[in-house]
Amino acid sequence: MKLLDIHTSTQKAVTSRNRLNEYIKQSDPLFMEAIRKEAAGDHEGATLAQTAALKAVAAIKEKYPFDV
């Protein structure tokens, strides 16, 4: 294994970990809120929360791309 390969693997691992942490902080709570609202019968609120969660996921993917 070359030094460059190790560096690239490390970068990908760090990016993956950062992305996971951002999902936990930003999008996961919004998805949970969508599930709670749907279970409570608030379909409009669930849709809004799900839309916000999907926007958060897109922003996270843009911030931490895998093609490092």
Q: Confidence band (pLDDT; 50, 70, 90) for 3?
A: low
Mean pLDDT within 5-32: 92
For the stretch 34-52, pLDDT in tens is 999 999 999 999 999 999 9
Q: What is the pTM of this model?
A: 0.80
Q: Where are the alpha helices (DSSP H) in 1-68?
A: 3-22, 28-39, 43-63
Q: Looking at the domain assignment, is residue 39 inside a domain?
A: yes
Q: Looking at the domain assignment, is residue 68 inside a domain?
A: no
The residue that leads in pLDDT, 7 or 43, is: 43
For the stretch 56-68, pLDDT in tens is 999 999 999 876 5
Q: Which domain holds residue 53?
A: 3-63
In this prediction, residue 4 carries a pLDDT of 63
Contact 43, 34 (CB under 8 A): no
Overall domain count for the chain? 1
